Structure 1
Amino acid sequence: MPWTTALRSTARAGFTLERAYTEPMRAVRGALGAAIVVFTALALGSPSLATSAAVGAFIAGTATFQRSYRPRPVLALGAAAGLSVSTFVGYLASPWPPLFVLVLGLWAFAAGLAWSLGPTAGVVASTTIAVMLVVVTLPESVPQAAEHAGVIAAGGVVQALLVVVWPVRRWGAQRDALADAYASMADYARRLRDDPFAAFDPEPLMQARSAAALTPGQARRRPAELGGMRAPMERMRPAMAALADPRVGAAEEGPERDRAREILNAAAEVLDAVAHSIRTGDRVSVPEWTYRALAVPATGPVLTGASRQSGRLLIGVLADIAESLESPGGTGEDARQLGNLSRPSVPEMLPLAGHAVRRNWRWSSPVLRHAVRVGAVAAIGEAIGLALPFGHGYWAPLTAVMVMRPDFSQTYSRGVARIAGTVLGVAVASAVIRLAEPNDWVSSALAVLCIGGAYLTLRTGYAAMTACVTMYVVFLLAMDGAALTATGEERVAETLVGGALALAAYALFPTWQTVRLPDLLAAYIETGGRYAAAAVAAFGAPTTADRRAVREALLDYRQARADLLTADQQAAVEPVRHRGLLHSQVTAARSAMAALGRSAMLLEAHLPAPRTDPAPVPGAARFAEALRAETARAAQAVRLDQPVDLSAVRPCYESWTAELPAPAAGSTDPAHLVVRDAGLLADALEGLQDALGD
């Protein structure tokens, strides 16, 4: 899209304020932590020490708002530790401006690399740069610098203790993630009732998997209703799709279709009740008519063959889920089999962090390019700030660093919103100080109120949050006797410089998601082929290991899909286009790959039970290998911008079907089921070739 349209679209996002994303009780708790630290430091120390305390408490509290399933006290303590180190290191280098600019640039580069560990680590690391820029101007000696670093750490400790003694919605993030996954399954059941080919969104299930990764301490304290609840969802997903699909399940019209709709509607009711129970901790409450709808009709079974098999599996799983939540202490056999994902401790994360950084240590990585960009901008911004005739040269690099993100849309939306929010915050705070002339204690109280406002708007409305942050900083500086007029003028001028510097840096050295689409689409095709091949191969020599292989391939496929979807959404607002891969081709290819994933899901629905000893399906392993090889070849063609040719899959499938005897009508023989569903895989790959072959 054109630059003007892209800028208008991204700027609008920075000014959007949605009440649904505000968390008043957490905002009150965070503001209380800041108040405790600020007033204590002001009573026992000096205004400059109170300023450091406020900065440390505010940013440590901000860390507890980040999207993370780790214990929130750990986030506050980790942020405080990083802030203390950055403050002390920055002060040691501050007497020599060239050295400080170099240290700042290297620190900003390392903070940019922290995005390879995830958004939470990236955001917290970015705040350490801001603290290095601001707090180093307050101490006057090395002992004072150590004292300020200690006060900042104390702010993190206080915020961590408040999280422990005043939990807001204990296990709320984990409950919400699992409940959202069940609610999405209920929505999927309702959509299948009306549209047998409705698309399945795996994102809520991916979030539920992330939430299920626990530390040992969390695992011991976790409520029973959160344990072992993901496995039944995974079993329901293919069963619902197989029941609704007229090609492999209930007939398109007639009594079978009516019965399938009845079961899917009842399943949605049960899943909604389960989602509510998980979210609130209440017992499951399902209407009696729902249970009657799931029971076999008095006239006898309506479904036959494979559709009856899928319906029985779905009803059985629903009964297990409801029973596990109604039982006070149990989470079902599936919970014991599934176990818990292991969330590594902080020491165990060090090698994982090193691996993540090495994985992104390539020029095409958005994280490395962001690290280079933010490091250069921080150093250049500080040099410009020092050269300007102002007394607080840190506002230009601070604005640039806090604005910049690895992608275009966030950087530009935050840049425009921060400039507007800073100007508004300076104007309001300046007017209050000029009219009221508050003393240190009143200024501290006003700063704490602004911190509460910043927490309240932290997840929505970046302009409003920036205005609150700016006001709290102005009130803190007023305690230290800074000249108000000069401070306001400097902050506005340098904010404009820093915002312009950040926007110009991304324009001159961008990381366009558009140019990454071919690689991400290729990965999506390759992982989709591996998932389909694993599902087919599981019928060739059924073992427990084959089931695990299907599961692992499914997770890789979901991650590749999520990566492509995120990049495609970000590319849609970028002012560039890819010359080789058209947007319409990406859309058509995603549709074909969704059909491939759905067909593999149907195969997964008919996998033999783990405790049975099914006969292997002849030729399944050979066809699976052909799927794997041909999709890998197609992925390579996409990377090289060559036509995609998947024509070899159909002859291989026809050759396989010719080897097997014709099945009897209504047969549920595994060989017949897998061959029938594999034909849908061949159809989906032909659709992919049509999308990308020209």
Structure 2
Amino acid sequence: MSVPGPEGAVDEPGTREPAWWARAARPDRPPLPRALMVRAALGMALPLFAGLLLDRLDLGVFAALGAMHATMNDRVEPTRLRAPRIAAALSASTLGMLVGAALQHHGAGALAAGLALTALAFASGAVSATGPRGSSAGMLLLVSASLGGGMALPDPWWTGAAMLPVGAALVVLLGLRYRVRPATDPRNRALADAYRALGATLADLGTPRGADSRRLLTARLNQVQDLLPHTRPGRPESDRRRRLRRMYEAALGATEAATGLLWARRKVPPEVAAFPEALARAVTGGPLPGYPAWQPGTPALKALDSALRAAAATVAGEDVRLGTAPVPPPDPWRLRARLLSPVSVRYGLRVALCIAVAEAATAGIPLSRSYWVPMTVAFVLKPDLGSVFLRAVSRAVGTVLGIAVTAVLLALTTDPWALAVAVSLCVALLPYSTAAHYGLNTAVMTPVALILVQLGGESGTSVFWPRVLDTVLASAIVLVFGYLLWPERPPHRIEPRLVDAAGALREYLASVVEERPAPVSEVWLRRSAYRALAHARQEVAQGLAEPPPAGRLAEQWVPATAALERLSGAVAAYAAQIRYGGHVPEPAEAARVFAALDHLTDAARAHRPPTGPAAGPTTPHDPARSALTRAADELDALLDRPAG
């Protein structure tokens, strides 16, 4: 059986499946984000140094806390994207700090404080479920409210919250670029990486590495899409941004053609596979490459030839017809709809239940600085950080390691200047540790939080070791009330994603075979389908990192995920057969695939993983045969349905 690999990729059949604990413990190896690390260190150090120099370290600690929250949401991207991302997170953080500080300042009792924090937890969870930005904002809303209710407050009490945006603004200013060249523009570099990934996919066609290369290509295209701002109707677009967008759209067309070749297991000449690498160099200011001389012989190869020629012309600055519609602008009602959706409401109730239990537990158990318990719950329940089980365990282990590091550091020195330098160095590691492993991230973040608390007024290591008890208690609450007893277990997370992916593929196929009254871009529908498939793969990988029975249940959905991925390639190949091979769409072919997708959707909603074989093709596809028929045969076998 095929199984997801380290990135959630589905490996070739016959590979040995690692144990769930091996997947859970294995860290990623991201590249060092040097620019982010430097900004993080300076953003933490400057407020603390200013507080020490002005004898207002209490305010410097809160400004440094705001800088850390900004660092957690910082990216290597244009300021027009960085600033709104950080502003949304810090707005929530500031609001949470004001609420928590107000409760502490007015001496709210345990019941009133618990009810207020539980209500805030519901809002935090609902916002968190709306997307990546909502996830960060929702988590910081609850984390800051917990900190505001327990940290030593400056005088007057509200100035701590006011200093959070000051530290965040410093991080934004440190990342400003006054002169951006093509070689250093994050968007150009991301686009160049996408073209390089396209070249790797072409080079790996017909090999066991092909599927993983295509998944990396999908991730690179997702990154470029996130960096490009939406076009606004009626607003002029600069020539530079328009060219960048068109180069990206050309890469999408070439990716669609490469996906069809990957499914058909057709190789291309080495000089053709190397051509996207030459385009990548041209995107970042290098010379324009010459197009290789070759003679494509099948519809899929002709589709690639046409797409690569269009990409070359677009990179050269020519105005060519790409056949892609512009990305639609974001719907202002979409966020409101997501915020009121059943998913958001359920997640809000999930977080509120865990916080209510945490508040009841801390009220009944004499804990010093009990704000650590709800703060830990907020971190563990952040919805886009992976498996809740893995996060809870990693949080406990990482906290123990982080406290040990802090204790050693404080045994060496308690000088505030030295501690300011130490905490700045720790914060510099956050951008890397966040991408590497949640446990490592916790081990790095724990000294930051404890040293900031130390600088804010606490002293000695005696108050630090109880944080282990707090963390274990919070992790146990999340495991029991947010995981074991909560109905939204891993299969229930995977199945909705598979339903979304099947629906997106249905739309993509419909755009290929059906006549539409309005122009619809097949490329953008394919993009939507692949993003949905990426989310489904991510949920499968997270489920596989959990112990049985959750891991076994997630494993049962691996064949369906792999089959949907191959179906997307079959639809791309089918589109090439229609466009370049003169194939006439047959309604019966599409009807079989639509019926199979409906059957798979019904099975997912009924929590019934398919049990049939899901063997992918092992030989090149015959171009005279319909790609859709072959895909329908595979789906029917997977779903144990009679063929035809």
TM-score, length of structure 1 as denominator length: 0.74
CA contact (8 A) 2:590 2:628 kept: no
The residue correspondences of 1:340-419 to structure 2 (distance < 5 A) are: 341=327, 344=330, 349=332, 351-359=333-341, 361=342, 365=343, 368-406=345-383, 410-419=387-396
CA contact (8 A) 2:490 2:543 kept: yes
Q: Report the equivalent of 2:13.
A: none
Q: Report the equivalent of 2:424.
A: 448
The residue correspondences of 1:208-223 to structure 2 (distance < 5 A) are: 208-214=224-230, 220=238, 222=240
Runs of 5+ unmatched residues, structure 2: 4-17, 613-622
Distance in 2, Cα, partners of 1:587 & 1:422: 33
The residue correspondences of 1:47-66 to structure 2 (distance < 5 A) are: 47-65=57-75
What is the letter of the counterpart of residue 311 of structure 2? I
CA contact (8 A) 1:11 1:416 kept: no
The residue correspondences of 1:431-510 to structure 2 (distance < 5 A) are: 431-438=408-415, 440-505=416-481, 506-509=483-486
Shift of 1:633: 5.3
What is the letter of the counterpart of residue 162 of structure 1? L
Shift of 1:354: 1.0
Cα distance per residue 1:355-396 (max 9 Å; x no partner): 11233x1xxx4x544432322222332343344334311112
Where 2:158 maps in the other structure, the secondary structure is: helix
Distance in 1, Cα, partners of 2:551 & 2:92: 43
Percentage identity across aligned positions?
A: 22
Where 2:429 maps in the other structure, the secondary structure is: helix
Q: Report the equivalent of 2:122.
A: 109
2:285 to 277, 282, 290: 282
Distance in 1, Cα, partners of 2:180 & 2:43: 14
Shift of 1:6: 7.5
1:163 to 144, 167, 175: 175
Structure in which a larger fraction of residues adopt helix: 1
What is the letter of the counterpart of residue 285 of structure 2? D
Shift of 1:269: 0.8
CA contact (8 A) 2:254 2:307 kept: yes
Q: Which has the higher contact order (CA 8 A, sep 6+)?
A: 2
What is the letter of the counterpart of residue 167 of structure 2? G
Distance in 1, Cα, partners of 2:239 & 2:41: 28
Task: Answer with 634-643 or 422-431: which moved more.
Answer: 634-643
1:333 to 296, 316, 320: 320
Cα 1:576–1:174 shift into 2, 3 Å: farther
Where 1:145 maps in the other structure, the secondary structure is: coil
Distance in 1, Cα, partners of 2:609 & 2:450: 60
- Tell whether 2:113 aligns with 1:100: yes
Distance in 2, Cα, partners of 1:400 & 1:466: 13
Distance in 1, Cα, partners of 2:313 & 2:49: 52
2:158 to 146, 163, 167: 146
Q: Report the equivalent of 1:565.
A: 537
Shift of 1:101: 1.2
- Tell whether 2:640 aligns with 1:693: yes
Distance in 2, Cα, partners of 1:515 & 1:8: 21
Where 2:285 maps in the other structure, the secondary structure is: coil
Shift of 1:126: 0.9
CA contact (8 A) 1:512 1:574 kept: no
Cα 1:358–1:475 shift into 2, 3 Å: closer
CA contact (8 A) 2:596 2:635 kept: no
Distance in 1, Cα, partners of 2:524 & 2:301: 26
Where 1:341 maps in the other structure, the secondary structure is: coil
- Tell whether 2:579 aligns with 1:605: no
Cα distance per residue 1:596-622 (max 9 Å; x no partner): 43332223114459xxxx9995x8457
What is the letter of the counterpart of residue 98 of structure 1? L
Task: Answer with 64-73 or 48-57: which moved more.
Answer: 64-73
Shift of 1:576: 4.5
Superposed CA RMSD in Å reads 4.3
CA contact (8 A) 1:403 1:414 kept: yes
What is the letter of the counterpart of residue 468 of structure 2? V
What is the letter of the counterpart of residue 126 of structure 2? L
Cα distance per residue 1:414-456 (max 9 Å; x no partner): 3333323333333333343344341x44433333333223345
Q: Report the equivalent of 1:83.
A: 93
2:43 to 22, 33, 51: 33
Shift of 1:478: 3.0
Larger Rg: 1
Cα 1:39–1:58 shift into 2, 3 Å: same
Shift of 1:549: 6.0
Cα distance per residue 1:335-372 (max 9 Å; x no partner): 7x75753665xxx75x321111233x1xxx4x544432
Distance in 1, Cα, partners of 2:208 & 2:293: 20
TM-score, length of structure 2 as denominator length: 0.79
- Tell whether 2:272 aligns with 1:267: yes
Distance in 2, Cα, partners of 1:155 & 1:36: 9
What is the letter of the counterpart of residue 37 of structure 2? A
CA contact (8 A) 1:232 1:321 kept: yes
Cα 1:99–1:169 shift into 2, 3 Å: farther
Shift of 1:122: 0.7
Distance in 1, Cα, partners of 2:595 & 2:223: 31
Q: Report the equivalent of 1:134.
A: 147
Cα distance per residue 1:633-658 (max 9 Å; x no partner): 564366457899x9xxxxxxxxxxxx
